[in-house]
A and B are shown apart, each in its own frame.
Chain A
Amino acid sequence: MATEAVVTTMSPEGLKAIGAALAVGLTGLASAIAEKDIGTAAVGAMAENEALFGKGLILTVIPETIVIFGLVVALLSL
């Protein structure tokens, strides 16, 4: 019985680290995918009208909040 308990218990530290890694990694991926789409559209719009640079820039950085939230969650969980 005693050995079984050792095998099935995972270190809470390790689980926290995995959780933090998932929070940062997955949100990072999500931001990247969103920014890719917005970025291509923004570059396309800029090719038509250069004055849209400012708006395009803002739209492109909007999804970056997702990964920042992920980072905050990771920091909170550690």
Chain B
Amino acid sequence: MLKPKQMSRAVIVGHKNILEETVDALHKANLFHIEDFNEDGSDLKIGKPFEKGSEVSKRLVKIRSIASLLGVKDVAVAKQNPATVCSQLDSCLDTLDQELEVLVENKHALEAELKDIGSSKKEILPFTNLGLDLELYRGYENLVVFAGHVKENVEPDIARITSSYELFYDQKSGAIVLFVVREKAPQIAEVLAGTSFRESKIPDMTGSPSSLLVDLENREADISKKIQAIDTEIEALKLKYSDLILASNEVLSIEIEKAEAPLRIATTESSFIIDGWLPTDQYAELERTVNAATNGRAFVSSQEITKPDIKKVPIEYDNPKIVSPLQEIMNLYGRPTYKELDPSALIFITFPLLYGMILGDIGYALILLIGALIIKKVVSTDAVKPLMNILIYCQISTLFFGILYGEFLGFPLASYHGEHGIEPGLIPGFETLELFVSPFAAGEMIGFPLHRTHLVMTFIVATVFVGLIHLNLGYVVGFINEKRKHGISAAIFEKGSWIVVELGILLAVLGYLDMLPIIIGAIVFLVGVAMLVKGEGVKGPVELPSLLSNSLSYTRIIAVGLSSIYIASTVNLIAFEMMWQPGSPIGVMTIFAIVVFLFGHALNTALSIIAPGLHALRLQYVEFFGKFYEGGGRKYDPFGYIRKYTEEK
């Protein structure tokens, strides 16, 4: 806790003919982070992949393409024996591949046909209500046909030019077909161009449009059925083979990883050198594994970690299980470096605390807590679980603050005695316990529960104090970090100076309140600034105002909280007071009110994850981390694989 795992550097050397055994053993042990070898002009060369690699990768490509065509998803299945998986795969990979290819090709052809029919339908549709067979639209020597759409009847315009015409007009759809003698056609075209006429293409078919349309629709239904049949076939294939595909994908991925391992390793003509990292407490295990796999013919030696190496050490967290979900939040920002404190355990306390202070509502806490528990149970992927755990921690804290604030879905639970009389709470008879007048703002009464909406000033001041505590925690951690990296004097001047500055401001405030001579505060403050200049140069004093802006930034705890309360109480107001009076008979308005209530609170629940989460996160990242954290550590990524679908051989 508070420190990344102790790491050791190890080098494994051996003859090339035991390379494969060594790689196998390392992969199985899954604890050695291989440092990729770069050719550096010495006699060492990058190794060549094992021969089986190309064959394996071909099959892997095939398996993956099949998996994507079938839409095989990662699901939890019973683990299988890799040997049987391989033998099954040999026998059915090609047939499966061919079968699937035929199906997919057929499906594509049918889909293309479906598209054609769709466009034909669109062409025919305008002509269906005119009642003319399609062959009547063409093949005339002395007649010209205009077909299209109009917005209003154009007949009077045409009649003015010629009487030798025939017009079919469907008023409902605005479809129009006009037959005119050829010599009048240019004039007619001009007239039509001046109206709202839009020409449409006459479909190249024969027969009555409506019966053609019926035909097309029948064909469409037929093809849809065929596509459905293919889909069920594909689904059946997926059902039958998905276990095998998942398992073999895993087996092959492991094989390929092993086969390509020499590309990361330095070799000479007859020997190999594998350089890498592992947690110190597992060093003995590495030695034992390698020796067992090679009969002691490979030589494992530990290397001293030199100063330039420290930047390269891969980082593995060393946190108790309960804290580990918070590592996701660290990863989002960047892992700590090797010599730095790992703040996961601090975030484990402060992140849910700040989140809870912001949200603080029993109703939302319960909804989100139950939601998170259900999602955690149903979805078992590694990406979702830690997030749900973080959400659960946050909701426990929210529940605590919800009780403290006495809020349930935006309703106050207790009644409140204010200037405008008594406002009733949700629980009849639950009265606010008034304890003492707030020291920060006149007229604000502190008691239980705390009515946030009536204690705004008090909360603004209180949250700034919370911020100052959080920031100073950051300075203390920064002090420890700095001491570890550059010694005690650097720590005092760079981080301790900030605490002295704060102390100076505090003394000055006491001076302002006539409790001390103000000069003491000023002197301490100036000493602090001088230390800061020595520690950080000119940059230090320039950053001084950030002390104010950082601590004021914590007022977002009350600001975002209030916004959530006001959204919730607005929803409640609309639902209960504007739409439906409690006590009135149940009617349409009741249903409306329920819909508004559910929809509004669903929206606010979603916002309750996003807004407090983001702001709590920001307070960690910007205000807290800014005081001490560097980050940018490399991930410890051991050579190996965690099997999900197959058992270890």
Which residues of chain A have a CB within 8 Å of any CB of chain B? 53-55, 57-58, 61-62, 64-65, 68-69, 71-72, 75-76
Measured between beta carbons, the chain B residues less than 8 angstroms from A58 are 333, 617-618, 621-622
Measured between beta carbons, the chain B residues less than 8 angstroms from A76 are 457, 460
Taking the nearest CB of chain A, how far is it from the CB of B546, in angstroms? Answer: 11
> Nearest CB to that of A68 among chain B residues?
B556
* Interface check B549, CB cutoff 8 A: yes
* Interface check B552, CB cutoff 8 A: yes
Choose one: A57, A68, A71; the contact of B614 (CB below 8 Å).
A57
The CA of A55 and the CA of B332, in the complex, are separated in Å by 7
Taking the nearest CB of chain B, how far is it from the CB of A38, in angstroms? Answer: 13
> Nearest CB to that of B625 among chain A residues?
A58
Is the beta-carbon distance between B333 and A65 smaller than 8 angstroms? no
Measured between beta carbons, the chain B residues less than 8 angstroms from A61 are 614-615, 617-618, 622
The CA of A55 and the CA of B559, in the complex, are separated in Å by 24
The CA of A69 and the CA of B331, in the complex, are separated in Å by 30
The CA of A75 and the CA of B622, in the complex, are separated in Å by 24
> Nearest CB to that of B330 among chain A residues?
A54
Measured between beta carbons, the chain A residues less than 8 angstroms from B552 are 65, 68-69, 72
> Nearest CB to that of B556 among chain A residues?
A68
* Interface check B324, CB cutoff 8 A: no
Interface of B is mostly: helix
Is the beta-carbon distance between B618 and A68 smaller than 8 angstroms? no
> Nearest CB to that of A58 among chain B residues?
B621
Within 8 A of A (CB), among B309-345: 331-334
Is the beta-carbon distance between B549 and A71 smaller than 8 angstroms? no
The CA of A62 and the CA of B614, in the complex, are separated in Å by 11
Measured between beta carbons, the chain B residues less than 8 angstroms from A75 are 456-457, 460
Is the beta-carbon distance between A57 and B457 smaller than 8 angstroms? no
Taking the nearest CB of chain A, how far is it from the CB of B624, in angstroms? Answer: 12
Measured between beta carbons, the chain A residues less than 8 angstroms from B618 are 58, 61-62, 64
* Interface check B553, CB cutoff 8 A: yes
Taking the nearest CB of chain B, how far is it from the CB of A60, in angstroms? Answer: 9
| Binary CB contact string for chain B from 601 to 619 against chain A (1 if under 8 A, 0 otherwise) | 0000000000000110110
Is the beta-carbon distance between A54 and B556 smaller than 8 angstroms? no
**Known contacts A58-B621, A61-B615: A72-B555 contact under CB 8 Å:** yes
**Known contacts A58-B621, A75-B457: A68-B333 contact under CB 8 Å:** no
Which residues of chain B have a CB within 8 Å of any CB of chain A? 331-334, 456-457, 460, 549, 552-553, 555-556, 559, 614-615, 617-618, 621-622
Measured between beta carbons, the chain A residues less than 8 angstroms from B331 are 54
The CA of A57 and the CA of B457, in the complex, are separated in Å by 30
Is the beta-carbon distance between B622 and A62 smaller than 8 angstroms? yes
Measured between beta carbons, the chain B residues less than 8 angstroms from A57 are 332, 614, 617
> Nearest CB to that of B332 among chain A residues?
A54
Is the beta-carbon distance between A54 and B333 smaller than 8 angstroms? yes
Taking the nearest CB of chain A, how far is it from the CB of B247, in angstroms? Answer: 28
Is the beta-carbon distance between B332 and A53 smaller than 8 angstroms? yes
Measured between beta carbons, the chain A residues less than 8 angstroms from B333 are 54-55, 58
Measured between beta carbons, the chain B residues less than 8 angstroms from A55 are 333-334
The CA of A71 and the CA of B558, in the complex, are separated in Å by 10
Measured between beta carbons, the chain B residues less than 8 angstroms from A62 are 618, 622
Choose one: B334, B457, B553, B621; the contact of A68 (CB below 8 Å).
B553
Kindly list the 8 A-B residue pairs having the minimum CB-CB distance in the complex, ordered from nearest: A54-B332, A61-B618, A68-B556, A58-B621, A71-B559, A54-B333, A72-B555, A65-B553
The CA of A78 and the CA of B559, in the complex, are separated in Å by 15
Is the beta-carbon distance between B559 and A72 smaller than 8 angstroms? yes
Taking the nearest CB of chain A, how far is it from the CB of B386, in angstroms? Answer: 14
Taking the nearest CB of chain A, how far is it from the CB of B344, in angstroms? Answer: 14
Taking the nearest CB of chain A, how far is it from the CB of B463, in angstroms? Answer: 10
In addition to A61-B622, A69-B552, A72-B460, 11 A-B residue pairs with Cβ atoms within 8 Å of each other are: A54-B332, A58-B618, A61-B614, A64-B556, A68-B555, A68-B559, A69-B549, A71-B559, A75-B460, A76-B457, A76-B460
Taking the nearest CB of chain B, how far is it from the CB of A48, in angstroms? Answer: 17
Interface CB pairs A-B, < 8 A, 15: A53-B332, A57-B332, A57-B614, A57-B617, A58-B617, A61-B614, A61-B617, A61-B618, A64-B556, A64-B618, A68-B555, A68-B556, A68-B559, A72-B460, A76-B460
Taking the nearest CB of chain A, how far is it from the CB of B107, in angstroms? Answer: 32
The CA of A64 and the CA of B617, in the complex, are separated in Å by 13
Measured between beta carbons, the chain A residues less than 8 angstroms from B556 are 64-65, 68
Measured between beta carbons, the chain B residues less than 8 angstroms from A71 are 555, 559
Taking the nearest CB of chain A, how far is it from the CB of B551, in angstroms? Answer: 11
> Nearest CB to that of A54 among chain B residues?
B332
Taking the nearest CB of chain A, how far is it from the CB of B47, in angstroms? Answer: 29
Taking the nearest CB of chain A, how far is it from the CB of B330, in angstroms? Answer: 9
The CA of A44 and the CA of B615, in the complex, are separated in Å by 23
> Nearest CB to that of A70 among chain B residues?
B559
The CA of A75 and the CA of B562, in the complex, are separated in Å by 12
Taking the nearest CB of chain A, how far is it from the CB of B614, in angstroms? Answer: 6
Taking the nearest CB of chain A, how far is it from the CB of B498, in angstroms? Answer: 20
Taking the nearest CB of chain B, how far is it from the CB of A55, in angstroms? Answer: 7
Measured between beta carbons, the chain A residues less than 8 angstroms from B555 are 68-69, 71-72
Measured between beta carbons, the chain A residues less than 8 angstroms from B460 are 72, 75-76
Taking the nearest CB of chain A, how far is it from the CB of B455, in angstroms? Answer: 11
The CA of A72 and the CA of B562, in the complex, are separated in Å by 12
Taking the nearest CB of chain B, how far is it from the CB of A16, in angstroms? Answer: 15
Taking the nearest CB of chain A, how far is it from the CB of B619, in angstroms? Answer: 10
Is the beta-carbon distance between B622 and A54 smaller than 8 angstroms? no
Taking the nearest CB of chain A, how far is it from the CB of B547, in angstroms? Answer: 14
Taking the nearest CB of chain B, how far is it from the CB of A75, in angstroms? Answer: 5
The CA of A12 and the CA of B559, in the complex, are separated in Å by 25
Measured between beta carbons, the chain A residues less than 8 angstroms from B456 are 75
> Nearest CB to that of B550 among chain A residues?
A65
> Nearest CB to that of B463 among chain A residues?
A72
Measured between beta carbons, the chain A residues less than 8 angstroms from B622 are 58, 61-62
Measured between beta carbons, the chain A residues less than 8 angstroms from B334 are 54-55
The CA of A72 and the CA of B555, in the complex, are separated in Å by 7
Is the beta-carbon distance between B457 and A65 smaller than 8 angstroms? no
Choose one: B549, B614, B617, B621; the contact of A65 (CB below 8 Å).
B549
The CA of A10 and the CA of B559, in the complex, are separated in Å by 29
The CA of A62 and the CA of B625, in the complex, are separated in Å by 14
Taking the nearest CB of chain B, how far is it from the CB of A49, in angstroms? Answer: 13
